A and B are shown apart, each in its own frame.
Chain A
Amino acid sequence: MMLQDIALGLLTSNVSAITGSSRLIVDIAMYFGLFVIVAMALNFQYGNAGIPNMGCAVQVIMGGFTVSALTTRLIFIVVAGAGVQLRTWATDYDWVYNNFYNVDVTNKYLATKPVLGISMLLFSIAVSMVLGAVMGWLIALPAIRLRATYLMIVLITMADAAQIFGRNIVAISGGTLGMFIPDILRWYPGDRTVVTAVITLFLGLVSFFIFRTMLNSPYGRLMRALRENEVTVSSVGKNVIGIRRTILMFASGITAISGTLLAFYFSYVVEANYQRAFWTYWPWLMLILGGPGNNAGTFLGCALVTAMRRIIIVEKWLIESLFFFPVAYFESVLLGVLLIVVIMFRPNGLIPEKLLYIPGVNYTQMVREDVKVDWRSAPKARGSSSGLSGMLRSLGVGKKEAAE
Chain B
Amino acid sequence: MSSLNKNTLLKSILFYFPILFLFLSVFNEIDFNYLNIEYFSFNFVHILIFYWTLKNPRYLSYGSIFLAGIVNDVVVGIPIGFSSFCYLLICAVTAYLRNITITPNLINDWISFLATILLVNSIQVISLDIIFSIEVNYMRYLINSGFTFILYPVFLFLFNILERKIAIQIND
A binds B: no
Interface of B with A (CB < 8 Å)? none
Interface of A with B (CB < 8 Å)? none
